[in-house]
Structures are given as C-alpha cells and as structure tokens.
Structure 1
Amino acid sequence: MPQLKRREVRIKVMQVLYAHEISKEPIIKIKKDLMSDLEGEDNLTFSDTLIKHVIENEKLLDEFILGKVLNWELERMALVDRIIMRMGIAELLYFPDIPPKVSINEAIDIAKEYCTRSSGKFVNGVLDGIHDDLKRDNKLVKTGRGLLNTESKNKNSGKSRKTPDFKKKKNVPSNKTIKDKNTKKPAVKN
C-alpha cells in the first residue's frame, strides 16, 4: 500500500479527534480502529504528535480560537470547525518544520471539504489572525523548512492569490459580532 499524503494523514487525525470528542472512548482504541491503514514512520510520528498536542493543549487552543471571535461560545461552533482550527493552531505552535501557510491552507482546504460552505473562510480568518498575533508577539518559532515562504501563486497570472480580509469590514463597530447570513458564523476579531 502506498504511503498516504500529509493531507490524508491530517484528515485521519481529524476523524480520530472527532470520534474521540463524540464517543469519549480512549484515544488509543480510536486510533487503532481508524488509523490501522496508516503506513510510514513519518506519517505515524506526525499523526501521533498532532493528536497528542491537540488533546493535551485543548484548553489553550480553544482560548486562541475564542480570542479571535466576538460574542461566540465555543460549544455553538461546528465541532469539525473547532477540531480543524485546533489542529491548525497546534501545527503553528508545535511543528517548527511546517511553514505557517501550509498549516493554514491545509486547514482551510479540509474545512471546505468536510464542513459548511463558509467554513473555509471562517477557519482562514481565525487561523490567519492567530498567526499574525503569534508573529507579532515573537511566539512563532519556525526552523528549517518551516521558514519557507509558501505563499500561494495563481498559476495563470503569477500573482499571489488574495485571501479574504476579515479586518476590513466597513461601518461595523469593532465590538459587534458580524454573522455570515447563510451559516451564522461569528465574525473574526480585529
């Protein structure tokens, strides 16, 4: 069986964390059931380490999320959105060899595939804001490959792909919540 790509490993990690959150079964049993086909030392190490960091640091990761949304309770957010954001934040904090843009883009793409229509934008806004804060406060520690500039390029024009800017909402007081009309997602704090 060929070795899985890193995206597929992240999806399996998300599934394990989701099953653990719903069932409250021991993580070892869930990993055995859902990750039995996972091969390759790198994949096993990455998945085990990511799961460990998300579970051990859940409260801290949730504080990061809550620090970026206005007037929103964590329990009201879609569970899969929360899990994906926790994974993305854990990668930013605890995986110095993974470039921040890779962690954020992977989280966005997985959210688009497994969550609601607007989840990608929501996850992007939260993770991008956390990334900016970590960078500003010199708490983003990246080494080796993690230092690479991985900005996405549009293949046709050679220009950078523009991502949504949640900070440029016009005529909206900064202490109010802006909700997406379709999904009632909370706005992202400035």
Structure 2
Amino acid sequence: MNRHAAREKAFQILFQLDMNDKHPEQAMKDHPESLEVDSYLKSLVEGVAEHKNMIDQTIAEHMEKWTIDRIASVEKTILRMAVYEIRYMEDIPENVAINEAVELAHLYGDEKSGKFVNGVLAKFLA
C-alpha cells in the first residue's frame, strides 16, 4: 500500500476513533478495508491516538476565532494527522503532509475544508 492510500485509510480509522471509544489496534482490525495493515498506516493511527491531546493543543494554539471543539470531525481528524506527520515523522516533508491533508479535506470535507486546513497548517509552520 502506498502512503497516499495509507493516509486515506488512517483518516477513516481515526475518524471512527473520534466517534467511538475504541483502542486503535481494535479500530484497525474492525476497519473492513485495512485487512492488510502496513507499518505506515499503523504508525499513523497509533501515533495520532497516542499524541492526540498534545496535537489538539498545538492545533488550538494556531487557530483564530475557533476552538478545537468547534471544528468538524473531518477537519479535526485531517489536522491531527498532518500535525502528527510534521511534528513526529521526520521522513515526511512538511509540504507533502500539507498537500495530502488538503487533498483529504477536498475529498471528505465541504468546499471550504481545504482552505481551512491549509490555513491552520500554514499558521502552525509559520
């Protein structure tokens, strides 16, 4: 599985984790399309889940006129993944993490999601 596909599956799993109280390992097993869990997918899901509070604090510090609780689950999940990749995964270039996050936002969010995600991540990197 390539990293783009792994990110999309990780997004789906993390989105479900945000809705349900499950352990990341169980959520990956329950996800029907992640029967072939690769190391990148596993690292992303477990890493975001493990560092969720710190990541949410980081996101909250880089938003204007918004709180983390007001962000829709789609955008929140995408931002968590991107911040995790930028902060904790040294082999992922920042621009790749941002581009992938914006692409996921266009795919799963509404017409303003991509711009919102890009803006928050730009402030995070500034």
> TM-score with structure 1 length normalisation?
0.62
C-alpha deviation, 1:104, in angstroms = 0.5
The structure having more radius of gyration, on CA atoms, is 1
Superposed, 1:28-47 pairs within 5 Å as 28-34=25-31, 35-38=34-37, 44-47=38-41
In the alignment, does 2:20 pair up with 1:59? no
Summarize deviations over 1:23-69 as a string: whole Å, max 9, x none.
2122222101211144xxxxx11111111221111111111111121
Deviant stretches of 4+, over 3 Å: none
The corresponding residue for 1:180 is none
Task: Structure 1: state its 5+ residue gaps.
Answer: 39-43, 133-190
Return the alpha-carbon distance in structure 2 between the equivalents of residues 103 and 57 of structure 1: 17
The corresponding residue for 1:94 is 88
Task: Structure 2: state its 5+ residue gaps.
Answer: none
Return the alpha-carbon distance in structure 1 between the equivalents of residues 27 and 40 of structure 2: 17
Q: Is the 8 A contact 1:92 1:131 kept in 2?
A: no
* Cα root mean square deviation, aligned: 1.2
Return the alpha-carbon distance in structure 2 between the equivalents of residues 77 and 8 of structure 1: 24
Summarize deviations over 1:106-151 as a string: whole Å, max 9, x none.
000000110111100010011122122xxxxxxxxxxxxxxxxxxx
Q: Which structure is higher in helix share?
A: 2
- The number of equivalent residue pairs is 124
The corresponding residue for 1:25 is 22
